Amino acid sequence: MNCDIIIPVWNQLNYTKECIESVFKNTPGVDYKLIVIDNASGDETKNYLANLMKNFPRYVSVIRNETNLGFIKAANQGIAASRAPYVCILNNDTLAMKNWLKEMIAIAESANDIGLVNPSSNNLGQKPAAGEPLGTYAAKIAERRGEFIELGAAIGFCMLIKRKVIEKIGVLDEIYGMGNFDDTDLSRRAVQAGYRCVRACGAYVYHRESASFGKVKTFDDDFRRNKEIFEFRWGKPKRIAYILDTVDTNTLKKINGDSMELARGGNWIWYFVKDPIVTPRHSNIIVKYFPGGWFYIKAVFNILKKKKKFSRIMVEEENAGKFLAKLSFIHKAEIGYY
């Protein structure tokens, strides 16, 4: 297994040290090299990186920019300098846990159509209990090695990319400036080209969320701008609710197929069900159970109370559709039938 790990750095010396040390400590079984892109850091960080390359020439190379080009351009510089069959873009405010990269690559190699891989992370909802050591929690996560779940999009804090995917769809789009939505855009292009984005359930990388972006004064304006660019290209993600009381096997098979296609396109699908059913494994498909009586009332109440409104509500019976249509002034959704 051969992988180039690309780490854009702009100061944050302590975080950078801890990140790189965690990689050195916890990446056995992988032939890797760090390609560090120094985005005009101050002397302290600059000197640390220079010494790192001097002391570990086999494992570390540093590309120095005299101005801060931003995360996206720095990541693309690293990709351009890389020759390995795998590239992993890694934020410098992360902590890699034992066998993180080995497991991510194993998942990537388990299917030809897996193109982008994230590890499990607090960034994706896998958080240790209060006071629980990261190493202890990561050891529990490692018990799920070999498992993966599809994602609506990979996130760029720690993103493994197959070289053949880059060759087919290109690198991160620099129109997104300093960052945000560049990873989602890359994911949409990968899915469009026939690849899947997945989370390696047995790998773990902790992320100090927003440690870098929190220092950028224009973050909110940049985020809105990039969101507009992304939605102009790919459309606004839809939120679709299925109210499933009783459903036959063939109908459920069709619903699951439609839902998986929508989820791979970055949309969100909610199943409101009375009894357990077989559903696809995808991060964007969410199942809510309401056993016992008053099923429709419970399901509709949960739909109405959500702050993020649904684009469409799918029901089986015409009477249920008419009832929901009368409440459209609250939920604002289109009513459909399955």
Please tell me whether residue 334 adopts helix, strand or coil conformation: strand
Question: Do the beta carbons of residue 65 and residue 40 sit within 8 Å?
Answer: yes
Edge-first strand order for the sheet with 285-289 is: 285-289, 268-273, 239-244, 312-315, 334-337
- Look up the CATH architecture of domain 239-337: 3-Layer(aba) Sandwich (3.40)
**Single-letter amino acid code for the residue at 309:** K
Amino acid 215: pLDDT: 57
Kindly give, in sequence order, each residue whose CB lies less than 8 Å from that of residue 134, ignoring residues fewer than 6 positions away: 95, 97, 128, 204, 206
Geometric angle at alpha carbon 87, from 82 and 88, rounded to 5°: 125
Please give the span between the terminal C-alpha atoms of the chain, in angstroms, as a whole number. 46
pLDDT for the residue numbered 149: 98
Query: If you count them, how many residues does the chain have?
Result: 338
pTM of this structure? 0.93
Check: CB of residue 174 under 8 Å from CB of residue 73: yes
Alpha carbon of 164 to those of 69, 116, 118: distances in Å?
A: 26, 11, 17
Render pLDDT for 49-89 as a digit per residue (tens, 0 to 9): 999 999 999 999 999 999 999 999 999 999 999 999 999 99
Average pLDDT by stretches of 10, the chain with 338 residues: 95 96 97 97 96 94 95 97 97 97 98 98 95 95 97 97 98 94 98 98 91 66 95 97 92 96 96 93 96 92 94 93 93 94
From the number of C-beta atoms within 10 Å of its C-beta (0-12, 13-18, 19+), residue 211 rates as middle
What are the domain boundaries of the chain?
2-233, 239-337
CATH 3.90.550.10 fits 2-233, yes or no: yes
